[in-house]
Amino acid sequence: MFLTFLALEFLRYEAPENVDVSEKMVEDDSYMLVKTPKSKDDKSDVIVELPVGEREKNFTPVTVAFQDLHYWVPDPHNPKEQLELLKGINGFAVPGSITALMGSSGAGKTTLMDVIAGRKTGGKIAGKILLNGYKASDLAIRRSTGYCEQMDVHSEASTFREALTFSSFLRQDASISDSRKFDSVNECIELLGLEDIADQIIRGSSVEQMKRLTIGVELAAQPSVIFLDEPTSGLDARSAKLIMDGVRKVADSGRTIICTIHQPSSEVFYLFDSLLLLKRGGETVFFGDLGKNCRNLIDYFENIPGVVPLPKGYNPATWMLECIGAGVGNTAGNQTDFVEYFKNSPYNEQLVANMAKEGITIPSPDLPEMVFGKKRAADSMTQMKFVVRRYIQMYWRTSAYNLTRMFLAVILAVLFGLIFVSADYASYSGLNSGVGMVFIAALFNSIMAFQSVLPLSCSERASFYRERASQTYNAFWYFVGSTLAEIPYCFMSSLIFTVIFYPFVGFQGFVPAVLF
């Protein structure tokens, strides 16, 4: 049992290796939380409506900055050589805004976001990652951010409300009252339009519903920063717009949103505030505010020699990617050096000037440092309660698993009973046969119990890794929860086996033996 806990806790530790993003990675003994200023009035035209400024906020607004960020991985063809996937990337994202990370396939969008979010498990990172101008520790990044993966991974036996409550209670600080945590859950349900399906089991839900839940689970933790990896992947145009409208409302509540997206529709693209555009090889092509209806971006590219102006009614996102050769074609030809053009542009000068400001790469006395004293937000008892409860509910709701186990117990009992139905235990050889029979029966029951739980454990493994990366709970309570939930079903299947098997093979004293 202890070895199982050690494997869960340490075998897949997500902290990156050989990382140099801070001079010191020290966990302070305090957690700083300041009162959040009210957000500006919302004037965006969205589908999901919610007055976001009326509720008390449980998070601290944070500006994320990354300076001269490099990332290397070993060359698979020559392990002694290093491939540089990110080459000196600079940028920042401020509270209340959505920053898009875009580029062609292989440009490093997701890689950049994973590096900023502390999700890279290998390779070498150099540069600075800062929160409110302070160098960010790995703990501060994990505790103050939420990460929405492209694949929607959840414990499918839970309901939508239970999944949100689980995240709210285990990832918000223990000092926050339960009533405020429940308020966070209700806010997420309203914000993402989950009222009609809040008490529905997650298993079998549509792609759009799962995507909304993925965002909601991170939002329920009240993070200061939310990372989204391809939030519109697999969705039609209407669903993508609905999801991004919800993300817009989340940003308007004062959170910082950083989002990778491949090729959005114009309606979705207009929802973004700023853009970091990368070319293949991990170099910056553009960084800056998009402006109203992306006017700043359009003017920038149309001023580049050789770029065909944006056709009337054409999607600016598609046109932009085609300009740099990340779309269907490269409309500017192969002679245009977009990276060098950006380095000499006013947008790069503005980026350099902004990066030197207080609160971005320089600490500001008006902005708090994100300091956490504990690795996990919830106390041990809360972790145990919610993890054990989830497993008990999961076993109870997975009827196919339970019925299959009971059916196998009946089959094994009948099979062993038929084999030993005429055994004579009066002789020495018969007694030896009986002892062997009991041993084999116990062995088969143990193997059956072990094998039958594997599909259930495998289906929960991805969810465990996602939650563990966010420091949701200790792996020990995950092991305890799965073990405690398994015990009643092991007992019931063994009892069914014994009730059939015991009299079948001619054993005497059934009741005392069962009680024993």
Q: Could you write out the DSSP letters of every residue in 75-125?
A: ETTEEEEEEEEEEEEEEEE-TT-EEEEEESTTSSHHHHHHHHTT---SSEE
Question: Does residue 58 carry a pLDDT above 80?
Answer: no
**Does residue 374 fall inside a structural domain?**
no
Q: Are residues 325 and 464 in the same domain?
A: no
pLDDT tens for 218-259 read 999 999 999 999 898 888 888 888 889 989 988 998 899 999
Residue 362 within a domain: no
Domain assignment present for 371: no
Q: What is the per-residue pLDDT across 446-497, written as a single tens digit (0 to 9) for each?
A: 887 777 778 888 888 888 888 888 888 988 998 888 889 888 888 888 888 8
Q: Is residue 368 part of a domain?
A: no
Instruction: Summarize the confidence of residues 303-307 as an average pLDDT.
Output: 87
Q: Quote the domain boundaries for residue 509.
A: 380-515
pLDDT beyond 90 at 415: no
Q: How far is CA 398 from CA 153, 455, 476, 478, 481, in A?
A: 18, 11, 23, 18, 16
Range with the lowest mean pLDDT among 179-183, 253-257, 331-335? 331-335
Q: What angle do CA 349, 136, 132 make, to 5 degrees?
A: 55
For residue 488, the surrounding DSSP H or E stretch is: helix 475-504
| Per-state percent for the chain, helix, strand, coil, to nearest 5 | 45, 15, 40
CATH of the domain at 296: 3.40.50.300
| Amino acid 126: pLDDT | 92
Q: Among candidates 353, 287, 360, 290, which has minimal Cα distance to 62?
A: 360
Q: Which residue, chain included where needed, has tokens 């920038």?
A: 300
Residues with Cβ within 8 Å of 361's Cβ and at least 6 positions away in sequence, in order, are 65, 67, 128, 130, 133, 355
Cβ 259 vs Cβ 277: under 8 Å: no
- Please give the pLDDT value at position 6: 57
* pLDDT band, residue 365 (cuts 50/70/90): confident
267 and 392, same domain (yes or no): no
| Same-domain status, 395 and 310 | no
Whether 375 is covered by a domain: the verdict is no
Task: Compare 510 and 6 and report the one with higher pLDDT.
Answer: 510
- Do 42 and 113 lie in one domain? The reply is yes
Q: Is 306 helix (H, G, I), strand (E, B) or coil?
A: coil
Query: Cβ(123)–Cβ(169) under 8 Å?
Result: no
DSSP 114-181: HHHTT---SSEEEEEEEETTEEPPHHHHHHHEEEE-SS----TTSBHHHHHHHHHHHHS-TTS-HHHH
Task: Give the type of residue at 380.
Answer: S
CA distance 346 to 98: 22
Chain center to CA of 207: 16
Residue 431 lies in a domain: yes
Q: Does any domain span residue 463?
A: yes
pLDDT of 57 reads 67
How far apart CA 296 and CA 347 sit, in angstroms, is: 10
Residues 389, 337 within the same domain: no
> What is residue 276's three-state secondary structure?
strand
> Tens digits of per-residue pLDDT, 419-438?
777 767 777 777 787 788 88
Answer yes or no: do 200 and 242 share one domain. yes
Do 436 and 348 fall within a single domain? Answer: no
Residue whose entry in the numeric block shows the structure tokens 């290796």: 17
Residues 396 and 349 in one domain: no
Instruction: State the number of CA atoms in the 13 A half-sphere of 470 facing the CB.
Output: 29
- 112 neighbors 278 (Cβ within 8 angstroms): yes
Total count of residues recorded for the chain = 516
Q: Does residue 36 register a pLDDT over 50?
A: no
CB 121 within 8 A of CB 16: yes
Which has more pLDDT, 417 or 19? Answer: 417
Question: CA torsion, points 434, 438, 443, 444, in degrees to nearest 10?
Answer: 90
Q: Which two tokens stand for residue 217?
A: 């689970």
Phi, psi (degrees; rounded to nearest 5) at 257: -115, 125
- Give the pLDDT band of residue 65 (cuts 50, 70, 90): very high
Residues 153 and 298 in one domain: yes
Question: CA separation (Å) from 329 to 81, 318, 323, 332?
Answer: 32, 10, 8, 9
Average pLDDT, the chain: 82
pLDDT at 385 over 90: yes
Higher-confidence residue of 404 and 342: namely: 342
- In the chain, pLDDT over 70 holds for what percent of residues? 85
**60 has a pLDDT exceeding 80:** yes
Structurally, how many domains does the chain consist of?
Answer: 2
Q: Which helix (H) or strand (E) holds 182?
A: helix 178-191
Contact between residue 394 and residue 481 where contact means Cβ atoms under 8 Å apart? no
Which secondary structure element, helix H or strand E, spans residue 71, and what is its range?
strand 64-75
Distance of alpha carbon 395 from alpha carbon 203, whole angstroms:
14
Residues 248, 253, 256, 259, Cα dihedral to 10°? -20
Closest CA to 361 of 125, 15, 21: 21
* Residue 360 resides in a domain: no
Between 397 and 455, name the one with better pLDDT: 397
Q: How far is CA 441 from CA 152, 431, 445, in A?
A: 41, 15, 6
Same domain, 351 and 384: no
Same domain (yes/no): 199, 329:
yes
Query: Does this model's pTM top 0.95?
Result: no
> Do both 351 and 407 map to the same domain?
no
In this predicted structure, the answer to whether residue 49 has a pLDDT above a threshold of 80 is: no
